[in-house]
A = this chain, B = another copy of it.
């Protein structure tokens, strides 16, 4: 069965990353969620990523902040697509998280999203677009989701007093 893993570097990232979970749920995509600190749990990180294929995890969404090594190190240990979400850090507002995730050297890609909640939402939509390539039902649900948000944006104009 097709599956997504939402991994985060700290339980404090959950308020951001649950935005991923909410959209995956809405699109009926099965997922697991994990706390794996790259720096405090490096052995777990390596093991998790290396078993992703065997565990039938098709896409990994990874959120981390500051010197954010989680997405890149997951990608280093699997060929499954890894989507990175830069958590908004305190002092530098996520610029450190963004550069630590997006500036990967050639050879190991991380699909980086925007800083914070917008990025977490888009990580789920990116996962959906990937999985929809082989799931016609999901493709329909994703098209419908996108159409609904177009409709909502269009209707929001009425709120301009």
A-side residues, CB < 8 A to B, are 9-11, 14, 18-19, 33-35, 37-44, 46, 58, 65-67, 69, 72-73, 75-77, 79-81, 83, 88-96, 98-118, 121-123, 125-126, 129-134, 139, 142-143, 146, 149-150, 152-154, 156-157, 159-161
Contacts and interface: CB of A to CB of B under 8 A. Distances in A.
B107 A39 contact: yes
Contacts of A44: 154
Contacts of A152: 40
A106 B118 contact: yes
Contacts of A126: 81, 109, 111
Given A40-B76, A103-B115, 19 more contacts: A10-B153, A11-B157, A37-B153, A39-B107, A40-B107, A66-B104, A67-B100, A67-B114, A81-B133, A91-B116, A92-B94, A92-B99, A96-B100, A96-B103, A99-B99, A103-B118, A106-B122, A107-B122, A131-B133
